[in-house]
A and B are shown apart, each in its own frame.
Chain A
Amino acid sequence: MSNLLKYMIENASMILNYANTHFSLIFSAVVISLLVWVPLGILISRNERLASIVIGIANTIFCIPSLALFSVFVTIPFLGLGRSSSLLALVLYAMMPMVINVYQGIKVVDKSVIEAAKGMGMSSRRILREIQIPLAAPVMFAGIRITVVMATGIAAIAAYIGERNLGRLITEGITRNHVEMILSGAILIALIAILFDTVLGAVERMLVPKGLKVRRSN
């Protein structure tokens, strides 16, 4: 344990550097997936046939082992080793949690609420914007939370395709048989993932509208 702390303190600047790349990769992946998958999720909530196709694709992509997806992108010439491949893979993995949560969030909105809005003379676009999306917000946010936590773990694997992030501590530690290095990488990644999960979970609970809280605690 003291060896571990010693190692972490001695290499603090390198570890911070790695953590920095780790965060920037996760951040860009989450931003891109928000921009791409949320609109897609909203789109498929209005078209059942498209929905089943898109969800099937998302589930299939999610099954692909992460090392496999990362390394396949490496073989595509214009992606190559490094950032663009890892970013693309993370965004594709985010498709499953994001699209499905947006879709389900919108779908589970109480039918009678929508009918009441219709009865008040709201157009379907206005119902979507003012009722379905706000009510779906907590579920959508749960999708973001899953994406962030998942990306933290999977980003580490990108170290094998040239990303210089916290996963690098693990990969190099395994090659060098350096236990403290592996431990510091693994523990830091796990701690960051758990931290993200807890913080975003708290935010998620704050997002739930007051009237819906009782249903959640059951």
Chain B
Amino acid sequence: MNWERYLDALSRVPHELAIHIIMVLISLAVAIAVSLPIGVILTRPRFRKLGALVMNILNIFQAFPGMAIIALTMPVLGLGLKPAIGALVVQALLPIARNTIAGLYGVDPNIKEAAQGMGMSEKKVLFEVELPLAMPVILAGIRTSAVYVVSVGTLAAYIDGGGLGNLIITGLNMLWAEFIIVGAGFGALLAIFFDRGLSYVEYKLTPPGFSIIK
């Protein structure tokens, strides 16, 4: 153990952590903006058949390993932060779209019919009945994505994306345990922070009586 190296590693943490958080937040925001509307469109009665098909495809893609996606972006987009964000967006899209579709399908058809019977327009049913009821499932998807993106974000350092992975890689290359521990520790804390924070939001937004059994 070498205290100077610890200090050296710690002094690099704010910069790398900031890059990591920015990377995660941008890719999550883009992924939500893209896959939420797609999920909503695919569950409309008009596209119902297409929805089932897309759901199956997404299920298959769920098996696609994160590292493969990071590695595949490099030949296409090159090195740097932007390609890393691109790879993370692809990564984050799937769980959100999947959970949006699953959540909207999961809304009791009786409730939708009751809303229609009360004279609500299709739009109103969507925004005031379906989306609030599907919100816990959608948020669970966003949470899965967030944790996943933080995790794969550490790999982004290999394609020059920066972030906490930089510290871990330096540590692995030089066999400096101090760098590994600092980088891995903050990476783990960041992931746990996102997980806990979003699960709190999820808990707060779940309508009473509709909490998912955990």
- In the bound complex, residues from chain A placing their C-beta under 8 Å from that of B159 are 174
Q: Is the CB of A170 within 8 A of B67?
A: yes
- Chain B: CB-nearest residue to A159: B67
- In the bound complex, residues from chain A placing their C-beta under 8 Å from that of B177 are 74-75
- B119-167 at interface with A (beta carbon < 8 Å): 147, 150-155, 158-159, 164-165
- In the bound complex, residues from chain B placing their C-beta under 8 Å from that of A59 are 195
- Known A-B contacts A59-B195, A68-B154, A174-B159; A189 and B68 likewise in contact (beta carbons under 8 Å): yes
- In the bound complex, residues from chain B placing their C-beta under 8 Å from that of A167 are 67
Nearest Cβ distance between residue B18 and chain A, in whole angstroms? 17
Q: Is B192 an interface residue (CB 8 A)?
A: yes
- In the bound complex, residues from chain A placing their C-beta under 8 Å from that of B194 are 63
Q: Is the CB of B153 within 8 A of A161?
A: no
- Chain A: CB-nearest residue to B64: A190
- Known A-B contacts A193-B63, A194-B63, A196-B63; A72 and B68 likewise in contact (beta carbons under 8 Å): no
Among B65, B154, B188, B192, point to the contact of A189 (Cβ < 8 A): B65
Q: Is the CB of B180 within 8 A of A72?
A: yes
**Alpha-carbon distance A198/B66, docked complex (angstroms):** 18
Among A64, A71, A156, A197, point to the contact of B67 (Cβ < 8 A): A156
Nearest Cβ distance between residue B166 and chain A, in whole angstroms? 11
- Known A-B contacts A66-B151, A68-B168; A153 and B67 likewise in contact (beta carbons under 8 Å): yes
- Chain A: CB-nearest residue to B175: A74
Q: How many residues of A are in contact with the other chain, CB < 8 A?
A: 40
- In the bound complex, residues from chain A placing their C-beta under 8 Å from that of B192 are 60, 63-64
Main secondary structure of the interface of B (DSSP, over half): helix
- In the bound complex, residues from chain A placing their C-beta under 8 Å from that of B30 are none
Nearest Cβ distance between residue A120 and chain B, in whole angstroms? 28
**Alpha-carbon distance A173/B158, docked complex (angstroms):** 11
Q: Is A36 an interface residue (CB 8 A)?
A: no
Q: Is the CB of B188 within 8 A of A186?
A: no
- A161-209 at interface with B (beta carbon < 8 Å): 161, 167, 170-171, 173-174, 179, 182-183, 185-187, 189-190, 193-194, 196-198
The 6 closest A-B CB pairs, nearest first, are A153-B65, A68-B184, A186-B68, A75-B177, A65-B151, A193-B63
Q: Which residues of A contact B (CB under 8 A)?
A: 59-60, 62-69, 71-72, 74-75, 149, 152-154, 156-157, 160-161, 167, 170-171, 173-174, 179, 182-183, 185-187, 189-190, 193-194, 196-198
- Taking A62-B147, A160-B172 as known contacts, 6 extra A-B pairs with beta carbons closer than 8 A to each other, sorted by chain A number, are A63-B150, A68-B168, A71-B180, A152-B65, A174-B71, A189-B68
Q: Can you identify 29 A-B contacts, CB atoms within 8 angstroms?
A: A63-B151, A63-B188, A64-B184, A64-B187, A64-B191, A65-B164, A65-B191, A67-B165, A67-B187, A68-B168, A68-B183, A71-B172, A71-B180, A75-B177, A149-B62, A149-B63, A152-B63, A157-B67, A157-B155, A161-B172, A174-B71, A182-B72, A183-B72, A183-B75, A186-B68, A189-B65, A189-B68, A190-B64, A194-B60
